[in-house]
Amino acid sequence: MENIRIGSQRADWKVSLHGGHSSTYCDHATSTLQEMLEAARDAGMRTYGVTEHAPRVEPERLYDEELALGWDVDTLDRLFGEYAAEVDRMKREYAGIMTVLKGFEAEVVPEGRYAGVMLGFRERYGFDYIVGSVHYVAGHIIDYIPGRYEKAVAACGSPEALAVRYFHDVARMVEALHPEVVGHLDLYRRRFASDEAASTPPIRRAAMEALEVIRQHDAVIDVNTAGLRLGFGYPYPAPWLVEAACGMGIAFCFGDDSHNISQVGAGITEAREYLLSHGVTHIETLEPGVAGVNRRKIAL
């Protein structure tokens, strides 16, 4: 599913508000930011929100690959400042061609004080918006690093307890950061064997509480095509979450979560069909306004 091409025709709904991770600033991305934006332009994207990962500020959070590169927390901090400046240049370069938005993907670490750190980055570099994501549960990363997910399960007691805690942490994150976009809402299910196991009654109750907080804060849910690339058959979030959020009047956007040019815009056509098939007729995008970004509704 790595190379689902989007075609080059422009369309209003060709918007990604979560992606554009690039090799200059992210150890697990493989194309430069310039290449990513050229690919977005060539795919006919109307708006491309670039959302590099926030730098981790604790040495113990560095990935092995980063340590192998000789990076430390100061390296991550410096690269993030350079990233913010380069996106500013790109916004000017693409003016009139494609709306480039300057965002970042916020983390829920350092535990207990991430809000101050993440909102500090937002302020310091003048970001247009934040994608709020939960990649850590009980202090362990659950995303893609071998062995760490198992530690998170052990800390929570069971996969189901991990999922419940995950949604609880999503709700607290939305309250703490007020992100414009909530990233990959059900990231926890990456390691679940079946949809049934990933949506038991306790998990659904926790999810509904998170959705209620998302609704209260008027955040937009990222329909994230990384789920297609992982072979789920649909993007993040799962159909039951799309239907529940839709019923609550919560808005959706697309995110390609791209880390290389083949992933830019990939799966968005399928994500559009996915939303339409679950009764969602509009997405919402962000556009630059006088005082920060404004929301705009787009018909699918």
Tell me which of 22, 133, 199, 258 binds Zn ion, using CB under 5 A. Answer: 133
Using rule CB under 5 A, residue 51 touches Zn ion: no
Contact 156, 168 (CB under 8 A): no
Radius of gyration of the CA atoms of the chain, in A: 18
* 202 upstream amide cis, omega within 30 of 0: no
CB of 12 to Zn ion, least distance (A): 25
* Cα 240 to Cα 111, 196, 244, 246, distances in angstroms: 30, 11, 6, 10
Pick 11 or 115: Cβ nearer Zn ion:
115
Contact 183, 255 (CB under 8 A): yes
Pick 133 or 269: Cβ nearer Zn ion:
133
Pick 35 or 44: Cβ nearer Zn ion:
35
Burial class (CB in 10 A: 0-12, 13-18, 19+), 200: middle
Pick 133 or 263: Cβ nearer Zn ion:
133
Q: Which residues from 14-33 bind Zn ion, rule CB under 5 A? A: 21
Helix (H) or strand (E) holding 115: helix 114-125
Pick 226 or 280: Cβ nearer Zn ion:
226
Helices (H), 6-72: 33-42, 64-68
CB of 173 to Zn ion, least distance (A): 12
Query: Residue with CB nearest Zn ion?
Result: 133
Size of site (CB under 5 A) for Zn ion: 2
Contact map string, positions 170 to 209, toward Zn ion, x by CB under 5 A: ----------------------------------------
Positions touching Zn ion (CB under 5 A) are 21, 133
